[in-house]
Amino acid sequence: MASKLLRAVVLGPPGSGKGTVCERIARSFGLQHLSSGQFLRESLGGGGEAGALAQQYLERGLLVPDHVITRVMMTELEKRREQHWLLDGFPRTLGQAKALDGICELDLVISLNIPFETLKDRLSARWVHPASGRVYNMDFNPPQVQGVDDLTGEPLVQREDDRPEAVAARLRKYKDAAKPVIELYKSRGILHSFSGTETNKIWPYVYTLLSSRIPPIHPEEEY
């Protein structure tokens, strides 16, 4: 492994494939894939203060606010001060980016730019397994049996904000919040943007970028 710890972030709107890109980076380079969604789910059952706060919002059908997600993430990152990691789904706002500055210096920020129509199509075809966060796409990554999770056999659901009528507003909201975050990292010279409609076509460029920073442990050809 490289002697210096690598701290990276993958930014991208809902449906951009950032979870897939993060999983590939984690496998290829041995970085820990830290997902804000996963930590939030784990915090709900963990008995901690941040988890209890998040639960109050979710039970009322509200979005978990910035400061609660920031608290969950800071707690997790503090435990990983001596590890290489890759953040997925955080920071989403300037406030979160500034909180992150307080505990570490990022080396690399990858931004995925996917056309609006592609995102709309992907999100409208997306179904999830609520308990695990596993995501299926009915067009290119369907479950083995329609409507049920491959591992548990439990039913899949379509999130309210993945329904076609909600997608446009959700993407606009993401763009407004992410713009200052992207500008911040661009001004620091650590932002690398990748554009396209297919993760498999973007991936070789992401792999090449990471290879210049940290030795791969698995070859690109695996994908």
Q: What residues are designated binding site?
A: 15-20, 36, 41, 62-64, 89-92, 96, 126, 135-136, 170, 199
Q: Is 92 a catalytic residue?
A: yes
Q: Is 122 a catalytic residue?
A: no
Provide the 8-state DSSP code for 155.
Answer: B
Binding residues for AMP: 36, 41, 62-64, 89-92, 96, 170
Provide the 8-state DSSP code for 156.
Answer: P
| CA–CA dist 210, 110 (Å, integer) | 10
- Taking every pair of Cα atoms in the chain, the longest distance, rounded to a whole number of angstroms, is 48
DSSP three-state, residue 201? helix
Active-site residue, selected from the candidate residues 80, 134, 159, 186: 159
Answer whether the bond into residue 180 is a cis peptide, omega within 30°: no
Active-site residue, selected from the candidate residues 7, 18, 24, 122: 18
Q: Is 27 a catalytic residue?
A: no
Active-site residue, selected from the candidate residues 7, 24, 122, 170: 170
Question: HEC string of 24-92?
Answer: HHHHHHCCEEEEHHHHHHHHHCCCCHHHHHHHHHHHCCCCCCHHHHHHHHHHHHHCCCCCCEEEECCCC
Active-site residue, selected from the candidate residues 7, 24, 71, 92: 92
Active-site residue, selected from the candidate residues 7, 71, 122, 126: 126
Q: Is 159 a catalytic residue?
A: yes
Binding residues for a ribonucleoside 5'-triphosphate: 15-20, 126, 135-136, 199
| CA–CA dist 91, 96 (Å, integer) | 5
Q: Is 18 a catalytic residue?
A: yes
Positions marked active-site = 18, 92, 126, 159, 170
